[in-house]
């Protein structure tokens, strides 16, 4: 086989590996609700503290293994990057805390709704913060999402605060990560470095007041708490590997694996209430996401066509 014929095969192989890695990362994120549900007897703040601590150790090891110390030092010397990463650490820390609390309180459906809404919140953030313009389909999708939240509020009698907080916080996190000059691994390291001292202080305080679960609730609980590090870092590493090898549109569509997986787990594994109110709410969101995804696919196809014409010219 000559070089010309082997090149497309190599590209296809890289794309397949990328899709598998990104899909695996998203699937692990979706399945994490089962993992954190096993720690329902642990205070959410303690879980968050362990998540930051063990993530720090694992990510530091990854940076050493992948020889990315130079890239990390460049980020640490960049004052603007450090300011942004300080903000992202606080945002993602609060996002993790609310997510853990919701999962362990039997509100997985609300987390699923939040992550279904998130792509639409990201588009809205682009309009408000980056001056991007909405297409007609995007406007309709956001309108349907707003209608879904309003219907949920009136039909079920309470505002889906968990869903809205997760969607808005992750949209803000995504926006800041988009503008910061730091790769995923180095960015995560700085974030957990900032969070870890708070986590360690909390663990010390809890131990001093005989409130710590670690070391007092059995070996299985201790193992699960330690493994919160890999549960945080591994999906991100897989996602980063995949994102570098597949199209953005494919990546965008694959992100729905996370809320879809948690939705199925909530309804069929944990039997969370799913009546008419939830059905109509999720139905409106799914229609909105179908419009949004179709519009994104059409736009990218047109951009690729125009890029092809430019090359021919």
- 203-210: long-range pairs with CB below 8 Å, 24+: 203/46, 203/49, 203/50, 203/53, 206/43, 206/46
In this predicted structure, what is the pLDDT of residue 64? 93
- pLDDT (tens, 9 = 90+) of the chain, 313 residues, equals 455 445 555 666 777 787 888 888 889 989 999 999 999 999 999 999 999 999 999 999 989 998 999 999 999 999 999 999 999 999 999 999 999 999 999 999 999 999 888 888 877 777 777 677 778 888 888 888 889 888 888 888 888 899 999 989 988 887 888 788 888 889 889 999 999 999 899 988 888 877 788 877 889 999 999 999 999 888 877 877 776 677 655 666 777 888 999 999 999 999 998 989 889 999 998 998 888 888 877 777 776 666 665 555 5
The pLDDT score that the predictor gives to residue 137 is: 84
Q: How far is CA 261 from the centre of its chain?
A: 13
Domain chopping of the chain, boundaries: 20-312
Question: Residue 108: its pLDDT value, please?
Answer: 94
pLDDT on residue 220 = 93
Short-list 172, 154, 178, 151, CA closest to 279: 151
Q: Which residues contact 197 (CB under 8 A, 6 or more apart)?
A: none
What sign has the CA pseudo-torsion 59, 252, 166, 282? negative
d(CA 142, CA 136): 10
pLDDT (0 to 100) of residue 51: 93
């Amino acid at each position: 086989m000559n070089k010309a014929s082997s090149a497309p095969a190599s590209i296809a192989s890289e794309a397949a590996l990328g899709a598998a890695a990104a899909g695996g990362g998203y699937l692990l994120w979706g399945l994490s609700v089962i993992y954190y549900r096993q720690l329902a007897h642990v205070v959410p703040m303690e879980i968050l503290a362990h998540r930051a601590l063990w993530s720090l150790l694992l990510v530091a090891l990854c940076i050493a293994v992948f020889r990315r110390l130079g890239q990390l030092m460049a980020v640490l010397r960049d004052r603007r990057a450090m300011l942004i990463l300080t903000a992202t650490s606080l945002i993602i820390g609060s996002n993790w805390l609310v997510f853990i609390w919701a999962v362990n309180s039997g509100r997985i459906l609300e987390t699923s709704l939040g992550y279904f809404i998130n792509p639409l919140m990201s588009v809205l953030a682009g309009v408000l913060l980056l001056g991007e313009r909405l297409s007609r389909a995007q406007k309709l999708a956001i309108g349907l999402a707003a209608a879904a939240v309003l219907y949920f509020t009136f039909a079920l009698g309470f505002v889906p605060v968990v869903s809205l907080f997760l969607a808005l916080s992750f949209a803000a996190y995504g926006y800041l990560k988009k503008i910061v000059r730091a790769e995923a691994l180095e960015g995560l390291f700085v974030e957990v470095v900032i969070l870890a001292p708070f986590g360690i202080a909390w663990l010390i305080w809890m131990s001093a007041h005989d409130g710590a679960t670690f070391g007092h609730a059995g070996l299985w609980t201790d193992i699960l708490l330690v493994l919160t590090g890999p549960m945080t870092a591994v999906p991100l590493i897989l996602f980063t590997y995949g994102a570098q090898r597949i199209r953005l549109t494919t990546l965008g569509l694959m992100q729905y694996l996370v809320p879809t997986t948690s939705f199925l787990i909530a309804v069929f594994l944990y039997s969370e209430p799913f009546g008419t109110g939830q059905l109509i709410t999720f139905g409106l969101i799914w229609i909105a996401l179908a419009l949004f995804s179709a519009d994104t696919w059409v736009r990218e196809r047109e951009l690729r066509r125009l890029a092809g014409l430019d090359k021919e010219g």
